[in-house]
Structure 1
Amino acid sequence: MIRAPIYFVRHGETAWNAEGRLQGQRDTPLNPTGVAQAAEAGRRLRDLLGPRAGSLPFVASPMERTRRTMEGLRAALALDPAAYATDARLKEIGFGAWEGLTWREVRRSDPARASARDRDRWHYRPPGEGAESYAMVADRVRPLLEALDGPVVMVAHGGVARAVMVTLGMASTAEAPQMEIFQGRILVLEAAGRRWA
């Protein structure tokens, strides 16, 4: 399905990342580590693409942590930090009632549902308003991916990265929910497969 490379960047670290809390669609700011990771992603992108990086379209989730990452990345590339698009389809997976909790807290307070999720992480939808499964996120991002007609720099979230890889046939529904999605690095998705830069 992929016609041109996607240079995918997960947002930098937030305090909730550092604490292991499920952020989902809560708007959490970058912490100092996250700000540094945004700049690091920009340097890695510059090393990967050279001057042509500035000619690519840039699109981000509209959430604060992704927008700040995009702006830091673009500043590191000596590009106008504000000259990028946002797309709501790139918002993080919604964890519903579990947002703000750690997995340990979820397992303690809601063990039956946590076990159900462990049995099928791809299709399981947590309780509460706004909750989604990874399968639902894949359905949400598929039209965006199908509309791409050239290389793009995309800044979004770990759950979105997993959905994108499955949609593009680069990971299975069993593998993707288990994958670590690094911050401060570039996940290159191209016809030859996936790789980290």
Structure 2
Amino acid sequence: MVVDDIFFCRHGQTDYNAEGRLQGRRDIPLNALGRFQAKRNGTYLRRLLGERAGEFRFVASPLSRAQETMRILRRELGLPEDGFETDERLVEVSYGDWEGSTLEEVAARDAQAIAAREADKWNYRCPGATSESYGDLLARIEPLLAELEARTILVSHGGVSRAVLRSAGKVGEWDAAMTIIPQDRLLVFREDGPHWL
């Protein structure tokens, strides 16, 4: 990944986010706050990039919450809303059988599983055939990161942002897994490391 003006944006809030539910690959739409957050990030990018915005490549996760966030960003930048690519590698980490539940609900069913996850959050796979660890997710997106060139704006998910921080930001496994990923801020990668805007 060429680290020069690579911007990462997490999708805006959904009702699952508001309720503390694990979304993973469930296709949950943005809520009103999520649309406001996406607009805020687009407005910030417009002030920051100005006319340069049209020089950027735009790539989103195919899940609708990421695509809607990207459309709002592009509208705020004065660009055609649908002028972006999607890439399956940017889809959120799979939480397997836990998707749709809160961690409290999972703990009530299986406290040992929650304890195992907390002991090694980066490498833990939730139960279920489709489940991934953050390490698995990183392996999935590293080829995409290697392809990225300067002046790219990505819209994806909280888990994906942790993997990007681990790879491009050289953040350790524990710190990457525990990092809070806001939905109303942007992460930019430059030569001196990652910065929240």
TM-score, normalised via structure 1 length? 0.97
Match runs of 1:152-191 below 5 Å? 152-191=152-191
Alignment partner, residue 115 of structure 2: 115
Alignment partner, residue 195 of structure 2: 195
- 2:90 and 2:156 in contact (8 A); partners too: yes
- 2:169 and 2:189 in contact (8 A); partners too: no
Distance (Å, rounded) in 2 between the aligned partners of 1:85 and 1:108: 41
**Post-superposition offset of 1:184:** 2.2
**Post-superposition offset of 1:119:** 0.5
Change (3 A) 1:194 1:169: closer
Alignment partner, residue 98 of structure 2: 98
- 2:2 and 2:149 in contact (8 A); partners too: no
Alignment partner, residue 59 of structure 1: 59
Read off the aligned partner of 1:40 and give its amino acid letter.
Answer: R
Alignment partner, residue 21 of structure 2: 21
**Post-superposition offset of 1:146:** 0.5
- Secondary structure of the residue aligned to 1:174 is helix
Unpaired runs of 5+ residues, structure 2, are none
Select between 161-170 and 31-40 the one with higher mean Cα deviation.
161-170
Residue by residue, what CA displacement relative to the aligned partner does 1:117-172 show, whole Å, maximum 9, x if unpaired? 11100101100131100000000010001011222000000000000111124311
Alignment partner, residue 82 of structure 1: 82
Runs (4+) of structure 1 exceeding 4 A deviation are none
Residue by residue, what CA displacement relative to the aligned partner does 1:13-32 show, whole Å, maximum 9, x if unpaired? 00000000000000000000
Q: Cα RMSD between the aligned structures?
A: 1.1
Distance (Å, rounded) in 2 between the aligned partners of 1:9 and 1:36: 14
Unpaired runs of 5+ residues, structure 1, are none
Percent identity over the alignment? 46
- Secondary structure of the residue aligned to 2:23 is coil
- 1:2 and 1:168 in contact (8 A); partners too: no
Alignment partner, residue 35 of structure 1: 35
Read off the aligned partner of 2:24 and give its amino acid letter.
Answer: G
Read off the aligned partner of 1:173 and give its amino acid letter.
Answer: E
- 1:44 and 1:185 in contact (8 A); partners too: no
* Number of aligned residues: 197
Distance (Å, rounded) in 2 between the aligned partners of 1:44 and 1:130: 36
Distance (Å, rounded) in 2 between the aligned partners of 1:149 and 1:96: 32
